[in-house]
Structure 1
Amino acid sequence: MPRPALRSRRLRRISKKTPGGRRVVHYDKRFASKPRCAICGRPLNGINETRIKTEHVSGSTISRPYGGYICHRCLALALRIAVRLS
């Protein structure tokens, strides 16, 4: 039985085969998936995807309005609609 810290689903369980032929379970950190647009679901560009949860917020956002929340195409469409309505 694994030690208590490894019993939760906080860590990924990966089945590995050792050189001796045994099957063992290795526990690895889970990484967040790439951030996606809130409107269309397309992956966002310009944000480092390698450990999103451990990055500082200031280093992982984009400087335009709604940067890091919606993609550039959805932002352009929303701005066009806002200009037409006003």
Structure 2
Amino acid sequence: MLFLLDAIFVIHLIFMVIASGQSLLNKSYTKALSSLGKGILSLSFFMAALGHFLFGYPVAWLFQRYVTGGFQLLPLIYKEYIQPIISSINI
């Protein structure tokens, strides 16, 4: 069941990175990074609550898992989705 929660988390994280990439294109760097950080924390809390209510996993363990996993995945998702767009525009 963790696979299902992880898949939901990664899909939402990809869309959050793409949305912050739009702010990066508009030269709004602090807004992009602050919204991304807040988004990861709120998404991690939501996923922890969802995993607890649906499957009975401990909330603290899930929250820690998704916060650390989210911040570890950020550079990889950025390189995969945002960097090609920015390099093709030549900002």
Structure with larger RCO (C-alpha < 8 A, sep 6+): 2
The TM-score normalised by the length of structure 1 is 0.27
The structure with more helix, counted as a fraction of residues: 2
Q: Which entry has the higher C-alpha Rg, 1 or 2?
A: 1
The TM-score normalised by the length of structure 2 is 0.26
